[in-house]
Amino acid sequence: MSMSKAFEKRLLAVLPGIVECFGTPCRVFDEQGMIDTGEDLKLNFQDPLFGFQEFFAVKAWPNYPAIGRIMHQVLGFGFDCSSPSELMSMRWAGVPASHLMLTSNNTSDELLRLALAEGGCILNLDDITMIDRVSKFPELICFRYNPGKRRSGGEFIGNPVEAKYGVRYDQIVEAYKRAIDRGARLFGLHTMIISNELNYRYMVETVRMLLEVMEMVSDKLNIQFEFFNIGGGIGIPYRPKDKPFNIAGLAREAKKLLYQFQQKHNYTPQLFMECGRLMSGPHGVNIARVINRMSKYREYVGVDTCTMAANPRPAIYETAYHHITVFNPEGKAKKGEEEAVDVVGSLCENNDKFARQRLLPKVEIGDIIVQHDTGAHSPGMCSNYNGWLRIQELLLRPDGSVELIRRPETVKDLFATLSFEPKVLQLSK
């Protein structure tokens, strides 16, 4: 979808200045938009019945100082981490253990030790075999649940039966029993089986599913749950005809289910989420300059970056779509008769396309391309394939100022890991 009218107004006021001061390519984030989305999320789940807490998925936008300030200091959110660097970075940002959840998979012993260090975190185990590998078992433990054939998945995560994530249905009671034997006294339940879902009823069924699993485990082991985490998975309307996810509808239906659970069990576990795409996706845009017009068997518009360095989603996922607006060098939106073009970068790969056969106003060299909804996953998935350098990140502040929050990479950065003290294994003769 197009960026919000409010974001568009704020961006257009500074677009010429951004291009002149910082140059292209760059990714711009709208701080006010993220704050507004976060406040709206909290408002919808403000009923005490929920005990709501959001854990922003760090992988969606791994700019640690920026998300630490906006998501935690301003909005009070926690963070869902999936790797050592994500967990360490949020600790460095001053986020307390109670607001950190580690949800990894194929987890190493080193990461399990790191999870317990420096005050710990909420440990969300992905596999039943991990229980015996935790050196000092925490009092609070959570398990990621995989329902298998009981639910369907989606393109990005896949069919639950084929997914590498989570404890199986037939293992879930045993997992908590083993955790109790290791000393656990407080319990959580987590799942993440869908991504970029726009039908709120799917997430309602996820709430229902987890409540039923908690009820089953409680009946067999006589325990209560502190929280359940329905994961992220809430999508954003990338395409112009997509409808936004109905957050209010999810809150309304989830409240009914929680109330029924409360009436039956005389308590309610807290409801957690880990929305990444929802929180940052619509509030980021990529800005690039047109450097070539090429006519082959199709018409091509070449920009001054490439997919892997700026936004890999269209290259990795064939169905990925990002809306595009074209501006002239003075920052005025171009209109008029449209033509079908492929918008491409400079990788020596034919899938290096930001858009395929997209209808755009006549694009000329020097024009500015603004690619919408690039605030989630696009930043974290970038790489240096072909030796291209990852782009800079800017933050549009509520007062209209623009702050550099990640400088552009340099060739020196690219070669930094090639500069080290030689280490050679000598083979005995």
Ramachandran region, residue 49 (left: φ > 0; alpha: ψ -120 to 50; beta: rest): alpha
pLDDT for the residue numbered 44: 98
| Cis amide bond preceding 16, omega within 30 | no
pLDDT band, very low/low/confident/very high, at 156 (cuts 50, 70, 90):
very low
What pLDDT was estimated at residue 383? 96
* Residue 157 confidence class, pLDDT cut points 50, 70, 90: very low
pLDDT at 151 over 70: no
Residue 403, strand partner residues: 395
Give domain 282-410's CATH number out of 2.40.37.10, 3.40.50.300, 1.10.357.10, 1.10.3720.10: 2.40.37.10
β-pairing verdict for 368-371 and 284-295: antiparallel
CB proximity list for 62: less than 8 A, separation 6 or greater: 86, 89, 379, 380
Whole-number pLDDT of residue 221:
98
Mean pLDDT of 359-387: 97
- Closest C-alpha to 103, from 121, 76, 119: 121
Residue 161 has pLDDT above 80, yes or no: no
Angle at 43 between CA 39 and CA 48, to 5 degrees: 130
pLDDT at 286 over 60: yes
Instruction: Burial-class residue 151 by CB neighbours within 10 Å (0-12, 13-18, 19+).
Output: middle
Q: For the chain, which residues make up each domain, given as ranges?
A: 31-280, 282-410
Amino acid symbol at 357: Q
SS3 397: coil
Q: How far is CA 377 from CA 57, 79, 184, 206, 399, in A?
A: 10, 15, 34, 23, 26
How large is the average pLDDT for residues 261-269? 97
Share above pLDDT 70 across residues of the chain, in percent, rounded to a whole number: 97
Confirm if 48 and 268 have CB atoms less than 8 A apart: no
* Distance, CA of 172 to CA of 144 (rounded, Å): 9
Q: Is the pLDDT of residue 88 over 50?
A: yes
pLDDT of residue 423: 87
Query: pLDDT tens for residues 184-200?
Result: 999 999 999 888 999 99
State residue 5's pLDDT score. Answer: 93
Rounded-to-integer distance, Cα 300 and Cα 16, Å: 25
Of 64-73, 111-120, 155-164, 298-307, the one with minimum mean pLDDT is 155-164
Q: Say what the pLDDT of residue 163 is.
A: 72
Q: Find the mean pLDDT for residues 2-12.
A: 92
| DSSP line for 302-344 | EESS-HHHH--HHHH-TT----EEEE-TTSPBP-SSEEEEEEE
Which residues have CB under 8 Å from 310's CB, separation 6+? 25, 27, 286, 288, 345, 374, 378, 382, 390, 391
DSSP states of 163-222 as a string? Answer: -S-SB-GGGHHHHHHHHHHTT--EEEEE----SSB--HHHHHHHHHHHHHHHHHHHHHH-
Sign of CA dihedral 256, 259, 265, 267: positive
User: Which architecture, in CATH terms, is 31-280?
Assistant: Alpha-Beta Barrel (3.20)
% pLDDT > 90, the chain: 91
The larger pLDDT score, comparing residue 419 to residue 72, is at 72
pLDDT value, residue 149: 78
Residue 421 has pLDDT above 90, yes or no: no
Mean pLDDT of the chain: 95
How confident is the model over 167-188, as pLDDT tens digits?
999 999 999 999 999 999 999 9
Q: Has residue 1 got a pLDDT over 70?
A: no
